[in-house]
Amino acid sequence: MNWKALYVASRAEKKVCLRLINLGIEAYVPLKKEKKQWSDRKKIVISPLINGYVFVKTNEKNRDLVFKSPGVIQYLRYNGEDAIVRDVEIDILKSIEEKGYYAEAKPSEKLLPGQRTQILHGPFKGMTGIVEHKSGNELYTITLESIGYTLKINLPIEVLIKK
């Protein structure tokens, strides 16, 4: 069985995920915690890390079962077939969610914008990406190629190497 990405109705990711789980389908929505401020209060809000997507692990036999859940629009397609999301990419999303891995970064003269780099340590070990820009922090971009989505993550320079 492979992980696949589903497009779902706007702001329905968590509900669709619960419905899919109730149908017996392994489903996952990476979530993030954000501190929101209104004029009269502050609140921690849990929202999807990637808007509009739910990831499902299903086989070909149960492929169409996901459409029994209201809010599912379609599978993300790549080259005319359902896009396959690698296990390592799901593991990275789970790691981001579980650990909140957004570290302070130090400026570096070694890495320049546009350079391809590889992560040496931590939950993203082995992933490659492109340095987007260098200001006070190194903003390291990881592209999850199988779904065509880009995550921007602050990483310390110690875990990066030129590729």
Task: Report the pLDDT value the prediction gives residue 140, as an integer from 0 to 100.
Answer: 65
In a domain, 101, yes or no: no
Residues 71 and 7 grouped into a single domain: yes
Cβ–Cβ under 8 Å, residues 90 and 28: yes
Reduced to 3 states (helix: H, G, I; strand: E, B; else coil), residue 14 is helix
Phi, psi of 128 (to 5 degrees): -115, 155
Shared-domain flag, residues 78 and 149: no
Enter the pTM of the model.
0.66
Q: 13 is written with which tokens?
A: 């990711």
Scan for tokens 């086989």, then name that residue: 59
Give the whole-angstrom CA distance, residue 15 versus residue 142.
27
* C-alpha span between 70 and 16 (Å, rounded): 7
Q: Which domain holds residue 41?
A: 2-85
Q: Give the per-residue pLDDT at 108.
A: 42
Residue 103 lies in a domain: no
How many domains does the chain fold into?
Answer: 2
Residue for token pair 């602050």 = 154
CATH number at 60 reads 3.30.70.940
Cβ neighbours of residue 18 closer than 8 Å, sequence gap 6 or more: none
Average the pLDDT over 117-130 and give the result: 76
- pLDDT tens digits for 30-50? 988 878 888 899 898 888 888
- pLDDT for 152: 75
* Tokens at 133, concatenated: 């820009």
Q: Could you report the per-residue pLDDT of 73-92, keeping only the tens digit for each?
A: 999 988 889 999 999 889 88
pLDDT exceeds 60 at position 109? no
Task: Report the C-alpha gap between 48 and 14 in whole angstroms.
Answer: 8
